[in-house]
Amino acid sequence: MAAALIPALAPDQPHLLRLPEGMGSASALEEVHQTLRQSSLQGPVALECGDWLLRVPELRDLEQLLQRHGLKLRRISGHSPGTLVAAAALGLDHGRSRPVNGSGSNATASGSSDPLTVHRGTLRSGDHLQVEGSVLLLGDVNPGARISAGGHVLVWGRLRGMAHAGCSGDRSARIVALQLRPLQLRIADAVARGPEEPPPAGLAEEALLVDGTIRIDPASPGWPLLQ
């Protein structure tokens, strides 16, 4: 089962290249190579990675392979946060795609329309994790790093960088962290600098929008996605 190359519907749209769902022994590069051999399409192409985890070297190789066939890599989408971070590192347009089948059950468990993205690992200076729904980060957000979500931002760790909840205008979005000491907080269109004094030890905190300004409280015990 090789990758599928679906021609664009309109001339100004990119073609769609979809990696196979089942990850066999073949690498993504081999899968794409096989598909391209039977095709003569040219122009921009959007890559749908599904569950594939592609790092910078692999993405770079893919980009070069596509280029040799007259195709230009325009955009990358997928479910694996690692792939999206790598795409961002290469300066490519990227976004999270919705899981196609029931395998993404965690996306609907909250009962809301917001899917939840879980990302493991620390965001380091210069990293930017952006998701459409809510995000749960298992790790720290270091100074200089950014995390933003259309819904809530939940950090199981230390938040010392910048966080933006409710990117697309949701003013009820919250930012929750085990240790909340960000450089800057944003909820919807409100901006606040992080507090200067050291955090109370052992107390998870949350930031929410009250009358247009961002307020920090001890975290409420409820899981915000259920509210």
Partner 1 sequence: MTSTSPRIILICSGKGGVGKTTLTANLGIALARLGERTAVLDADFGLRNLDLLLGLENRIVYTAQEVLAGTCRLEQALVKHKLQPNLSLLPAGNPRMLEWLTPEDMKKIVALLAERSDYVLIDCPAGIEDGFKNAAAAAQEAIVITTPEVSAVRDADRVIGLLNVQGIQPVQLVLNRVRPKMVASQEMLSVDDVTDILALPLLGLVVEDEQVIVSTNRGEPLTLQGAPSPAGQAYLNVAQRLRGEDLPIVDPSKERTGLRARLKRILKTRLF
List beta partners, residue 75. 46, 93
Which residues, other chains included, contact 104 with Cβ-Cβ below 8 Å and sequence gap of 6+? 79, 98, 115
Is residue 56 part of the contact set for partner 1 (CB under 8 A)? yes
Is residue 126 part of the contact set for partner 1 (CB under 8 A)? yes
Closer of 127 and 170 to partner 1 (Cβ): 127
Sequence letter at residue 149: A
Is residue 124 part of the contact set for partner 1 (CB under 8 A)? yes
Is residue 70 part of the contact set for partner 1 (CB under 8 A)? no
Which residues ranging from 138 to 177 are in contact with partner 1 (CB under 8 A)?
A: 140, 142-145, 160
Is residue 128 part of the contact set for partner 1 (CB under 8 A)? no
Contact 175, 163 (CB under 8 A): yes
Is residue 89 part of the contact set for partner 1 (CB under 8 A)? yes
Site for partner 1 (CB under 8 A): how many residues?
A: 19
CB of 86 to partner 1, least distance (A): 6
Closer of 127 and 205 to partner 1 (Cβ): 127
d(CA 145, CA 60): 23
d(CA 194, CA 199): 11
d(CA 39, CA 50): 22
Vertex 112, ends 110 and 118: CA angle to 5°? 50
Is residue 136 part of the contact set for partner 1 (CB under 8 A)? no
Residue ranges binding partner 1 (CB under 8 A) = 55-57, 85-86, 89, 121-127, 140, 142-145, 160
